[in-house]
Structure 1
Amino acid sequence: MSDFDAITEESLVTKGGRKWSSFPGSIGAFIAEMDFGVAPAVRQSLQTIDDRDLYGYAPADLVADLKTATSSFCSEHYGWRIPVGHIEPASDVLAAFLGVLTHLTPPDTPIVLPTPAYMPFFDVARVTGRELIEVPMLRSESGWSLDLDAIASALTPGATFVLCNPHNPIGKVYTEAELSALADVVEDAGARVFSDEIHAPVVYAPARHIRYAALTEATAAHTATATAASKAFNIPGLKCAQLILTSAADRDAWAEKGQFVSGAASNPGILATTAAYTRSSDWLSEVNGYLKANRDHFTDLVGSLLPGAAYIEPEGTYLAWLDLRGYGLESGLSALIRSRAEVAVTEGRLCGEVGAGHIRFNFALPRPLLTEAVERIARIL
């Protein structure tokens, strides 16, 4: 068993990663990576780079192993048996999304995005020149839900609905009934779905991850799914994602146009992802257990130290969404918290118009640092 509690702020700062070097002196609770290192099999896999001098282009056997590993992982964890021919590499999920928009959707069709949302989705709309339609999530005392009527009004033929499941930054894990209801709306509109499932391995019982594209023949036909080992196995810098194309028409179009996206995954990322999916289940289980305990501890800290905050406990991811409007705060929260509490968090407004007065907090910290971070924030509010 790893002693994640023993990881110190000094050791993290010494390593010099972006999470701990971007804002010197602050506890890093903004960017979505963990402070727990990587699985031993992942670390060992990178030795293959030297052993085989794999500094050139990815050989076919590496790519084939990656596709097989992805298919096996999805089958084992989600009951989704994906033919390896439906899987394409990419450098990351955003590159896959850009490729899907460019090669698989009609030009000038809009992106429909439920908000709050992962910040770079807004940048994707900007760089592709697509209209972005924000559809705020519905929030009740008990949880979050999609505003299906508003989604139906926003969708047009050929539009792309972005499904993030588990949902960054709110941590919602969608039920089968919720996804089926969404599928009906998408089908009625003649639209399609880009399903970002990068956080799928980080889900806390009793929640269960359901693969949207695997629901029906209709969802398979109108969905492109992107996933990666980068969040759950803590390897975002190695640049390897997987695009799963369950539509035959999409696969045909991708074979003709998608080679620059599929050829951009790195050899280290391919090797590390294969090792993560095939030889790191025990490590993932240990980390998820620690993250769940962190999630529960964070909930207790918020309840006792931040009584003015509104908060719904996440069902997946290691990200928490805090509503601090009860403290009279609407903007500039991340700068305030960083300057006065020395904790680096993500400004909620970056996640859409509905994010004003909110912050995104990454609780994938050693628990003593998690406690210290929340205590610091509480002292200045």
Structure 2
Amino acid sequence: MPTESELDAITIDQLRAVPSEKWSLFPGLIGAFVAEMDFGTAPAVRRALHDAVDTGMLGYLPGPTVARMQEAYTGFAKRRFGWSVDPERVRPVPDVLAAFEATVRHLTPEGSPVILPTPAYMPFAPLLRDLGRDVLTVPLVREAGRSVHDLDALDAAFAAGGRLLVLVNPHNPTGRVFERGELAAVAAVVEKHGGRVFADEIHAPLVYAGRAHVPYASVSAATAAHTVTATSASKAWNVPGLKAAQLVLTDDDAADVWQRRCIWTEHLTATPGVLASIAAYDDGEDWLDDVIGYLDGNRRIMADHLAEHLPAVGHTPPEGTYLAWLDLTSYGLDRPAAWLREHAGIALTDGRHCGQAGRGHVRLTLATPRPILREILTRLTEALA
């Protein structure tokens, strides 16, 4: 298991030596914009990948391996979330975006608008536009210091013709972990209009003490019947490049359509990625728990630093994910990420890419060694001061 000192010892030079997008797209800057961790992955996952190469498991994805993945995920979901899922309903997909595209194409009426709460994960809106769909954006609202869904606005979006709601939980970029009662309230709106939900739960394993991830489809029989759930080991075990995710089909009709029309999406899933997912779900929880403990420390360090040195920065510590959502609107920066690249040497995600509701904000990835995080905070303070 990784120790605090081992994670602290990872240096910027070591990270730059690996040509990842996070550390190569902006040469010379500290990379904190891509949602991936700087900690490698679990020993069990590394062993699984080495074994795949050593034994030649590099061909197309075989049925027995799919079955192992289904059992591994359902076991993890039961242990971690108390969610019982039929293993046959867990389908391999290359990533959440591929699952989303297939859902929009095949499980919604042709040409129907899609409802997207904002700020949103950056690729959703442009992908929908590429698919010829209107995007009905519904900004989250602040309530008691937390971002929540605007139920009246969701109701209006469905009434305006929206057929699919994109529900991201834990939420990217705000870090909210929505509670069961909140999800039930959203479900009542969806049921009122006979809508469907695409539940992006890719960050589900990354939740901090005091909060618990509730799979949306597990809330009731109604949510199970109108939801497709996409998830993956890619964020929690830091393997996004392996192209393997899971789509959970709790709706009988969706499962039937998927079997008839979406099988080619499954065909794009990478065998090594599925093997890594099996190892993560079966044998990677101890590593994950240690990393979550480290990330918890990081989010507290950031919150304390901002409160003391940058009180004008709006920030609520994430309840899940390893993403910090910073409100810089008081500084009057039109493009804050570009400004911080120039003046602080930090590469962040500009909130405007998350929709109009994100303008004036930046998203910062906290999953980095603490000496690097402290350097980021020092640079932010010096630049914004």
Distance in 2, matches of 1:80 and 1:380, equals 46
Question: What is the correspondence of 1:176-215 to structure 2 with a 5 Å cutoff?
Answer: 176-215=180-219
Aligned partner of 2:205: which letter?
A: P
**2:89 matched to 1:86?**
yes
Question: What is the correspondence of 1:216-231 to structure 2 with a 5 Å cutoff?
Answer: 216-231=220-235
- CA deviation after TM superposition for structure 1 residue 48, in Å: 2.6
**2:382 matched to 1:379?**
yes
Aligned partner of 2:234: which letter?
A: S
Instruction: Give 4+ residue runs of structure 1 displaced > 4 Å after superposition.
Output: none
Question: Would you say the 8 A contact 1:305–1:375 is kept in 2?
Answer: no
TM-score (norm 1): 0.98
Partner of 1:30: 33
Distance in 2, matches of 1:170 and 1:256, equals 36
Partner of 2:325: 321
- CA deviation after TM superposition for structure 1 residue 141, in Å: 4.9
Aligned partner of 1:348: which letter?
A: G
Partner of 2:292: 288
Partner of 1:172: 176
**2:307 matched to 1:307?**
no
Question: What is the correspondence of 1:95-174 to structure 2 with a 5 Å cutoff?
Answer: 95-156=98-159, 159-174=163-178
| Per-residue Cα deviation, 1:140-178 (whole angstroms, up to 9, x for no partner) | 452111100000000146610000000000000000000
Aligned partner of 1:113: which letter?
A: L
Question: Would you say the 8 A contact 2:111–2:133 is kept in 1?
Answer: yes
What is the aligned counterpart of 2:240 among 222, 236, 241?
Answer: 236
What is the aligned counterpart of 1:357 among 344, 357, 360?
Answer: 360
Question: Would you say the 8 A contact 1:194–1:225 is kept in 2?
Answer: yes
Moved more, 133-142 or 89-98: 133-142
Partner of 1:17: 20
Number of aligned positions between the proteins = 380
**2:264 matched to 1:260?**
yes
Partner of 1:57: 60
| Per-residue Cα deviation, 1:240-281 (whole angstroms, up to 9, x for no partner) | 000000011111111101111111110110010100000111
Distance in 2, matches of 1:248 and 1:380, equals 54
TM-score (norm 2): 0.97
Unaligned runs of 5+ in 1: none
Question: Would you say the 8 A contact 1:105–1:158 is kept in 2?
Answer: no
Question: Would you say the 8 A contact 2:229–2:249 is kept in 1?
Answer: yes
Distance in 2, matches of 1:141 and 1:4, equals 35
What is the aligned counterpart of 1:339 among 342, 345, 370?
Answer: 342
| Per-residue Cα deviation, 1:223-250 (whole angstroms, up to 9, x for no partner) | 0000000000000000000000001111
**CA RMSD in angstroms, aligned pairs only:** 1.1
Distance in 1, matches of 2:295 and 2:345, equals 23
Distance in 1, matches of 2:206 and 2:53, equals 31
Aligned partner of 1:237: which letter?
A: G
What SS class does the counterpart of residue 324 from structure 2 fall into? strand
Aligned partner of 1:191: which letter?
A: G
Distance in 2, matches of 1:310 and 1:55, equals 47
Question: Would you say the 8 A contact 1:158–1:190 is kept in 2?
Answer: no
What SS class does the counterpart of residue 61 from structure 1 fall into? helix
Distance in 1, matches of 2:68 and 2:309, equals 48
Question: Would you say the 8 A contact 1:346–1:361 is kept in 2?
Answer: yes
Aligned partner of 2:51: which letter?
A: T
- CA deviation after TM superposition for structure 1 residue 51, in Å: 3.1
What SS class does the counterpart of residue 58 from structure 1 fall into? coil
